[in-house]
Structure 1
Amino acid sequence: MSSAGADRRGVLADKVALITGSTDGIGFAIAQRLARDGAHVIVSSRKQQNVDRAVEKLQGEGLSASGTVCHVGKEEDCKKLVSMASEKYGLINFLVCVAGVNPLAGSTLGASEEIWDKIMDINVKAPARLLRLALPHMGNRKASSVVFVSSVVAYNPEITLGPYNVSKTALLGLTKTLSLELAPKGIRVNCLAPGVIKTDFSQVLWKDKNVLQDLMKRHRFTRLGCPEECAGVVSFLCSPDSSYVTGETIVASGYSPRL
């Protein structure tokens, strides 16, 4: 199933969306959906060739897209990304933070300091850092929206993904805290928690059929999700349809992991 075909063209017309980790997988699907809904999108990732490929594909559809290299763990890269958006369009309406890492599959307590630092820096600190830099270009516009991308493991942790589970749970707290801080500026802050979506990043959970079947049996979902199903949620969270939604996490996992 895909929400990409929904007739919502123009709902985000002339808005500006800055999206990290957006040259493939969920991030690219989000960029594509927001652009199809009328937004000017700025994509980014760590490799120039990936940025070029993503921009070419989006522009090939006649969509408004540009991009630049951005390693979200490097403040200078984040500054460059924000500067590109502000110089090109004068403002930023939507900030969508998709970029994340998981360099470990193993014991939580066995993870090294370096592993902990990398996961927490990229998955938790980097979105806050980028929002701090983008904020002067978003404030008091009454139509601005921030979306962090967490994971269903924030609710149902997987035993082999220890520090990653923790980082994605922390994003739920970051969402709630920043939604309160930014409410006076009219900026909404929400979160998406994908389940097992068929992307290269998540293949450790679905490439092995036995692992996937175990997950499906435990959580009672019937199929893998696709990136477009996440993109539809983000489009909603950026649109006027969600104007009274903030501090919330929407799960897209094929099952309900919480009350």
Structure 2
Amino acid sequence: MTPNPFNLAGQVAVITGSSRGIGRASAELLAQLGAKVVISSRKAEACEEVANGIRAHGGEAHVIPCNISRRAEVDALIEGAVKQYGQVDILVCNAAVNPYYGPLLDISDEAFDKIMASNVKSNLWLCAKAIPPMAARGKGSVIIVSSIGGLRGSTVIGAYGISKAADFALCRSLAGEWGP
């Protein structure tokens, strides 16, 4: 019998925005594949629900609430994962916000700044904390979840699309810098 090429036993995965949607599905799948997962979103109760479900199915999960728009909380997320499990092997940058729907020329500076800070800058912060130790060990994986909105124009979620296009560029640049 061939071993499962997707066996993540012994790996530690941090997933932002993992209390629902794509993040939750990612955390559950990574746990099914054997990874120890760190569940994270703004609300601890929602994270605990996901973690309890993972534990009920034999997985290992730890909760660290984090608002990705706050640098100190982002730092605490990665530092807490390392304190709990010793290292981070997989980082899934999934959390994002979209507080504005409407034409780009009507968006307030505050809403635009919130979208860019939460959806792009936070991913840079997360990567800055997680990638150097991965590189020092010679292995690790970073997944930055983007959107078709980063490739297509929209009349109502243009700023969100801009942030997701920036995530594509962030991912390509980090791969160029750290991939080798």
Asked whether the 8 Å contact 1:22–1:28 carries over to 2, the reply is: yes
Partner of 2:8: 12
Deviation, structure 1 residue 78: 1.1
Q: 1:57 aligns with which of 53, 58, 67?
A: 53
Deviation, structure 1 residue 19: 0.6
Matches within 5 A, 1:1-259: 8=4, 11-184=7-180
Asked whether the 8 Å contact 2:103–2:156 carries over to 1, the reply is: yes
RMSD of aligned alpha carbons: 1.5
In the superposition, the TM-score normalised over structure 1's length comes to 0.66
Aligned equivalents of 2:75, 2:157: Cα separation in 1: 31
Secondary structure of 1:72 counterpart: coil
Deviation, structure 1 residue 10: 6.0
Which string of whole-angstrom CA distances, capped at 9 and with x for unpartnered residues, describes residues 119-165 of structure 1?
00000110001111223432233330100010011112222101001
Deviation, structure 1 residue 9: 8.5
Aligned equivalents of 1:104, 1:8: Cα separation in 2: 43
Unaligned runs of 5+ in 2: none
Secondary structure of 1:109 counterpart: helix
Unaligned runs of 5+ in 1: 1-6, 185-259
From the CA coordinates, give the structure whose radius of gyration is larger.
1
In the superposition, the TM-score normalised over structure 2's length comes to 0.94
Which string of whole-angstrom CA distances, capped at 9 and with x for unpartnered residues, describes residues 3-51 of structure 1?
xxxx958611111101100011100000000110111110100011111
Asked whether the 8 Å contact 2:19–2:46 carries over to 1, the reply is: yes
Partner of 1:225: none
Deviation, structure 1 residue 183: 1.9
Asked whether the 8 Å contact 1:16–1:39 carries over to 2, the reply is: yes
Secondary structure of 2:153 counterpart: coil
Query: Higher relative CO (CA 8 A, sep ≥ 6), structure 1 or 2?
Result: 1
Q: Count matched residues.
A: 178
Aligned equivalents of 1:80, 1:102: Cα separation in 2: 24
Aligned equivalents of 1:10, 1:101: Cα separation in 2: 30
